Chains A and B, each alone.
Chain A
Amino acid sequence: MSVLQTAARGERKARSAGRGTGPRAGRRGLSRMTRWLGAAPLLVFAAVVFGLVLGMMVYGAFTTPETVPGGARLTGANMTASLHGAYLTALTGSVRLSALSALIATVVALPLAHVVVTSRFRVLREAVLAGSGVLANFGGVPLAFAFVATLGNAGVLTTHFHLLGHGWDLYSFWGLTLVYLYFLVPLMVLSLTPALEGLRRQWREAAHNNRANTFRYWAHVALPILTPSLLGGYVLLFGTAFSAYATAAAMVGSSVPLVTMQIADALSGDVLIGQGNVALALGVDMVLVAGLVMAVQLPLQRRSVRWLA
């Protein structure tokens, strides 16, 4: 995601630079069919693979399993089931974990990004930004193991400081939050940097000349300008945390109820017949949430770019 944003930034620059070359020139002598030919493999691939996968998911989510008597019939039962009982607990658990860890990451990343952006030391800035790019893409199994080795039941810090006696448990909601912050904070630093770089020194000076203190400068000038970036970043973090699976699976197993784990468990087979279709319904739930996230994030990102251009 993070690389995606940096790439998007570069693209805008480059596109505006290259404007003015008309679309006509390369077309000579090519019929409509041959012109589309180059894009055909991609479109066919996406239509077949993606279409089949998404189609089956939606179809399965709204039908009964074919193994039951009567075969596949249209039903809303799977979707209903996916919003009740243990599944609802998992869904809300995921939402709670994502919302909370994204909030903490936002609160932590803002001062960090500000310190880094305004730092006088170029090396520090470059190092932190490059490091953030790496850490934001760092998740999954290795991250889980690094934390298990550090703060797990036999981890280095746990044994050294006898944390277990103080009620520490990495394999819990808060433990997972702590681990998620490891890739969420860098992601937020990356998405806030362009906005913070866009805050001009003159605005701050103007505010101070008008007798605003630091608090008022932040409350009335900086934060309102940063709001779209903060919100967009928050939503991005929420989506990232919401769809994360590998870290949690490698670390906590099923002791923290998460929707991704429920789907994986239902797919692994050792459950009641018909749960497969509930897993698909849960998948549809996830796609809806992720779609909502994108629908909120893209306009916000565009707006923050427009304001700070």
Chain B
Amino acid sequence: MARLSTFRFPFRFGRAAVLLLAGAYFLVPLACAVAFSIGAGVPGRSVSFDAYTGVIGADGFTDSLTLTLKLAAATIALVLGLLVPALVTVRLAAPGLRTLVEIVCLLPLVVPAVALVAGISAVLRWGPDHFAGTPIFHVLVALQDPNFPVVLVLAYTLMALPLAYRMLDTGLAAIDLRVLVEAARACRASWPRTLWQVVLPNLRGALLNTAFLTLALVLGEYTVAAILGYRPFAVWILAISGSQAQMSVAVSVMGLLFTWVLLLVIATAGRTRRPKETS
């Protein structure tokens, strides 16, 4: 026992040093970003919160934010609408499809966002030349409507699939789906009613987690939107950074805090649930 404590002794200082260094590295940039956005620490500027109060009235802020929120809502709806029926089907009726569905959902991990957008823009350039005058042409035009670019929803859905799949699959594995469904069916509930009133309420946690994560993904997504030439939130922040550096940092900080609260809610929810699963 004495030996154990002697060799651990120098390690104590090591521990503190590791934690201090890591803490400094992770906290200093955040503190500096806040300081920069309120003008503290920048020579020749007085401290003011103009960058924060001015955001609401800033040119393009509401447009980009509403566009992003609309995209997020559509993406969440599409992700859940595609995945929930598929995963319930795989578990209940067609276990043979399991591998196929898993591969399909995890495949987007292999395609980085930049490569994905390269492919998308190739399709958008190639399509109109070949289908001029056909309904497909109109579909392609509608996909790129600048007021609501559906093509972004499709891209974001693909990007969200791996994460959403894991989340929902975990949620489904944690409940006894078959018993629930059989009980509901034995009580003569129709299939839609079984899904709507029995399966979905039991999946509430997983559904919410998936929705939050998808929202976080869409809020922060820059690559696809910027390259295709649309202007949702993240692209707008970068666009104003040239003329209003303080405000762009202020918006980043706020966006960050919002995303953090969102993800922390998920993290704590996940953490408090885990002990129950193991016991």
Report the separation of the CA atoms of residues A182 and B223 in the bound assembly, to the nearest whole angstrom. Answer: 19
Report the separation of the CA atoms of residues A11 and B144 in the bound assembly, to the nearest whole angstrom. Answer: 38
Contacts of A181 in B (CB 8 A): 25
- B138 close to A (CB within 8 Å): no
Q: Are A146 and B277 CB-contacts (below 8 A) given A42-B82, A53-B123, A243-B113?
A: no
Within B90-138, which residues are at the interface with A (CB < 8 Å)? Answer: 90, 92-95, 97, 100-101, 104-105, 107-123, 125-126, 129
Interface centre among A6, A43, A53 (most CB of B within 10 A): A53
- A290 close to B (CB within 8 Å): yes
Contact of A130 among B93, B111, B271 (CB under 8 A): B271
Report the separation of the CA atoms of residues A3 and B263 in the bound assembly, to the nearest whole angstrom. Answer: 10
Residues 12-34 of chain A, each 1 if its beta carbon lies under 8 Å from chain B, else 0: 01110110010101110010001
- Is B42 in contact with A14, judged by CB distance below 8 angstroms? no
- B208 close to A (CB within 8 Å): no
Within B224-279, which residues are at the interface with A (CB < 8 Å)? Answer: 226-227, 234, 237-238, 241, 245, 248-249, 252-253, 255-256, 259-260, 263-264, 266-268, 270-271, 274, 277-278
**CB closest chain-B residue, reference A135:** B26
- A228 close to B (CB within 8 Å): no
Residues 202-242 of chain A, each 1 if its beta carbon lies under 8 Å from chain B, else 0: 00000010000110000000000000000000000000001
Interface centre among B92, B100, B162 (most CB of A within 10 A): B92
- Is A250 in contact with B81, judged by CB distance below 8 angstroms? no
Cβ of B64 to closest chain A Cβ, rounded Å: 12
- Is A54 in contact with B237, judged by CB distance below 8 angstroms? no
Report the separation of the CA atoms of residues A157 and B43 in the bound assembly, to the nearest whole angstrom. Answer: 12
- A276 close to B (CB within 8 Å): yes
Report the separation of the CA atoms of residues A215 and B86 in the bound assembly, to the nearest whole angstrom. Answer: 51
Cβ of B110 to closest chain A Cβ, rounded Å: 5
Interface centre among A23, A39, A134 (most CB of B within 10 A): A39
Within B68-85, which residues are at the interface with A (CB < 8 Å)? Answer: 81-83, 85
Q: Are A53 and B116 CB-contacts (below 8 A) given A10-B274, A42-B82, A43-B101?
A: yes
- Is B260 in contact with A139, judged by CB distance below 8 angstroms? no
- Is A287 in contact with B158, judged by CB distance below 8 angstroms? no
**CB closest chain-B residue, reference A285:** B115
Interface residues on B, range: 35 or more
User: Total number of A-B contacts with CB less than 8 angstroms?
Assistant: 293
- B213 close to A (CB within 8 Å): yes
Contacts of B52 in A (CB 8 A): none
- Is A150 in contact with B28, judged by CB distance below 8 angstroms? yes
Contacts of B189 in A (CB 8 A): none
Report the separation of the CA atoms of residues A276 and B123 in the bound assembly, to the nearest whole angstrom. Answer: 12
- A176 close to B (CB within 8 Å): no
- Is A290 in contact with B173, judged by CB distance below 8 angstroms? no
- A49 close to B (CB within 8 Å): yes
- Is A57 in contact with B115, judged by CB distance below 8 angstroms? yes
Cβ of B72 to closest chain A Cβ, rounded Å: 15
- Is B176 in contact with A134, judged by CB distance below 8 angstroms? no
Interface centre among A34, A42, A279, A290 (most CB of B within 10 A): A42
Q: Are A35 and B89 CB-contacts (below 8 A) given A56-B126, A159-B41?
A: yes
- B182 close to A (CB within 8 Å): yes
- Is B32 in contact with A157, judged by CB distance below 8 angstroms? yes
- B3 close to A (CB within 8 Å): yes
- Is A14 in contact with B237, judged by CB distance below 8 angstroms? no
Cβ of B90 to closest chain A Cβ, rounded Å: 6
- B148 close to A (CB within 8 Å): no
- A307 close to B (CB within 8 Å): no
- Is A142 in contact with B178, judged by CB distance below 8 angstroms? no
Contacts of A264 in B (CB 8 A): 114, 223, 226-227
Report the separation of the CA atoms of residues A282 and B165 in the bound assembly, to the nearest whole angstrom. Answer: 28
Q: Are A11 and B112 CB-contacts (below 8 A) given A156-B41, A280-B118?
A: no
- Is B90 in contact with A39, judged by CB distance below 8 angstroms? yes
Within B163-190, which residues are at the interface with A (CB < 8 Å)? Answer: 163, 166-167, 169-170, 173-174, 176, 178-179, 181-182
Residues 267-301 of chain A, each 1 if its beta carbon lies under 8 Å from chain B, else 0: 11000000010011011101100110010000000
Please provide the 3 A-B residue pairs with the shortest distance between their CB atoms, ordered closest to farther: A38-B89, A243-B112, A149-B36
Q: List 14 A-B contacts (CB under 8 A).
A: A8-B166, A26-B178, A30-B93, A36-B93, A39-B89, A53-B116, A115-B15, A135-B26, A142-B255, A145-B33, A145-B241, A149-B37, A249-B223, A267-B121
